[in-house]
Amino acid sequence: MGEGLICWVLTNGMAGFETQGIGIAEALGLTPVMKRVKPSAPWRWIAPRGPAAPNPDIHAPWPDLLIASGRPSIP
């Protein structure tokens, strides 16, 4: 199904969140690229409702599918 598609799994690095994201990606036949975010204050306080914290690792080219797991990764 996912041949040629780019998939990111975006988490805060906690094993439980990463396992969920990887499991979904693999169930779809995709090999995910892991992206980790560790927002500092004030972004950490307002997640998941606020804007995303600046992160140099999150940039174009954008994936075809993004799987975000965990409150800090949602923005």
Predicted pLDDT at 1: 58
- Looking at the domain assignment, is residue 6 inside a domain? no
3-30 pLDDT, tens digit per residue, is: 789 999 999 999 999 999 999 999 999 9
Number of domains making up the chain: 1
25-65 pLDDT, tens digit per residue, is: 999 999 999 999 988 888 888 888 888 888 899 999 999 99
Predicted pLDDT at 50: 84
Predicted pLDDT at 29: 94
Predicted pLDDT at 65: 96
- Looking at the domain assignment, is residue 13 inside a domain? no
Contact between 62 and 33 under an 8 Å Cβ cutoff? The reply is: no
